[in-house]
Each structure stands twice: as structure tokens, then as C-alpha cells.
Structure 1
Amino acid sequence: MPTVIEQAVQARLVAPAPHMETVPATLRYDCGDPFAVRMDFPAPATLEGTDITWAFGRELLATGIEKPAGSGDVRVRPYGYDRTVLEFHAHEGVAVVHVRTSELRDFLRRAQGVVPAGHEHLYLDLDHELAALLRDVR
């Protein structure tokens, strides 16, 4: 069974211009970090011209496709039929993208097959994490 799930999605960038530009993005789930989902945007899709990765809770994504969720850097909410809005807040500004809800549901289903919701704690390597923290303290 795979321990990392990746899924390419087409994100529609919401911008002041009249049309929404489609940008490629990749959703990633790794059982080594069982509570998190990552969304990668390639350099051409970012203002900085560098690859950008946003990490946020898998539960936030699962909740946000049903009802508005999040109050921090990442916010997720349903939008119309089969669209979900993801807002990424940074000190440079806010990026808003629309993703097909069906793609997000498929991704979450696949991640659920790797680590069932509610069982994430079983996949944490707390001894390794603690050792890494203490290694830097001297």
C-alpha cells in the first residue's frame, strides 16, 4: 500500500481580471505526517516565481468541502455545484483558487485508504520527533 498519495488538480485562480486562469497544482498526502495535506503550486503559477507548498489539515479540507472551515492562513468553503474555494493568506496577500469538489473527494478517499480518519496518531513516530527536537538542544 502506498504511503504517499499525490493527485494533480486544475486550480482556477480567482483574480481581478474577468477570466479565471487555470493553474496546475498537486495535492499530496504522506502517512509520515498523517494530519496534514500539502498543495504544491509550480513556479509559473506563483507571483514569486518559485515553487510554493501550502500545508494544512486533512480535517480542514474534509470539513471545508461541506461547509466553511478555517480561520487562519488556509480557509476552505464550498462554492456552487462541485466547486470548492481554497483561500491562502500570506503577508504578501491572498490567493484564492477553485478546485472541483469531486477531485478533492477522490483525493480524500485515497488518503483515507492509507490512514483512516481518527487513526492518525497511530502513524506518528513520536520517539523520532522527540529525538530530532532534543538533538538541536545542547
Structure 2
Amino acid sequence: MTNDAEHTEQIISHYGGSTPVRSRWTYRATEPYTVIAAFQADADRWVEWIFGRDLLAEGLVRAAGDGDVRLAPVTSGGRAVLALEIESPDGHAVLELDHAAVQAFFATTTAMVPLGGEADFFDIDALIEEITNV
């Protein structure tokens, strides 16, 4: 079973607590294991990070992630935020996202595809065809 449903949420992040960074969060039922977080670098340039939805689920409740993407719920300035730490050879950033907004985005993803039900939405045959027809 596949579903073409897609949900995109825009969340304002704060780098170092001072500079707003526009982000666009996307989840597609046809790619049920991942979420995409895109951050606006310039007026017409976005930088995308793709990571596991399971990492987002864990990061909303406790520190999670060992690689280039790490998440942790923290309190900053008296408000609940989700600290998102991203790292690449080009740089490192820690962004503070409104915890409730990210939680709402995550809840929408689970309404689209329940946790543990991803295999019902993932088209393995299409992936095999894509890989073998390269």
C-alpha cells in the first residue's frame, strides 16, 4: 500500500538564541522512514538534512543521535525547545526549535503513517526497480 500524502511545516529556529532561521519540515508517506528538515541559507537557497523519523521520535523525549544529526529536548529562556545539532564538513550549527511545533509536526507524521507501520507504505519493488535500472 502506498500513499502520496505529504506534510510540510515551517518552523522558525534560533541559532545561538539570536538569529532566526526559517526551516521547512517535510514528511512523505511514500518515504515513511525519513523526515526532511530544510533550512534557509539565503533568500533562494535551502540546505536539506534527511534523517530517520525514529531519531525525531526519540529526540523529542530524550537526547538522541550519534552522527551528523543530534536532538535533545531542553529548556532555553524558560521555554521548552528541541535542540537540533547538525554537523558536516562545511560547518556545525545548533538550532533551537519550538518543541510544541516539532511535536505537532511529528504527530501529523504518525497520523499519516503509524510508527511501526512504515513497511505498509514503503514500496520495496519500486526501490529495487530504481536501483536496478540505473
Same fold (TM over 0.5): yes
Alignment of 1:15-54 (within 5 A): 20-44=18-42, 50-54=45-49
Shift of residue 42 of structure 1?
2.0
The percentage of counterpart residues that share the same residue type is 26
Across the two proteins, how many residue pairs are aligned to each other? 129
* Higher strand residue share: 2
Alpha carbons 2:11, 2:101 under 8 Å: kept: yes
Alpha carbons 2:4, 2:30 under 8 Å: kept: no
Q: Output the CA distance in 1 between the equivalents of 2:9 and 2:46.
A: 17
Alignment of 1:1-138 (within 5 A): 3-14=5-16, 20-44=18-42, 50-80=45-75, 81-136=79-134
User: Unpaired segments of 5 or more residues in structure 1?
Assistant: none
Q: Output the CA distance in 1 between the equivalents of 2:69 and 2:84.
A: 7
Instruction: Give the TM-score normalised by structure 1.
Output: 0.87
Across the aligned residues of Structure 1 and Structure 2, the Cα RMSD in angstroms comes to 1.7
Shift of residue 131 of structure 1?
0.7
Shift of residue 107 of structure 1?
0.4
Q: Output the CA distance in 1 between the equivalents of 2:25 and 2:46.
A: 14
Instruction: Give the TM-score normalised by structure 2.
Output: 0.90
The CA deviation string for residues 62-109 of structure 1, in whole angstroms up to 9 with x for no partner, is: 111211000001000011141010011100121110001100110011
User: Unpaired segments of 5 or more residues in structure 2?
Assistant: none
Q: Output the CA distance in 2 between the equivalents of 1:53 and 1:13.
A: 16
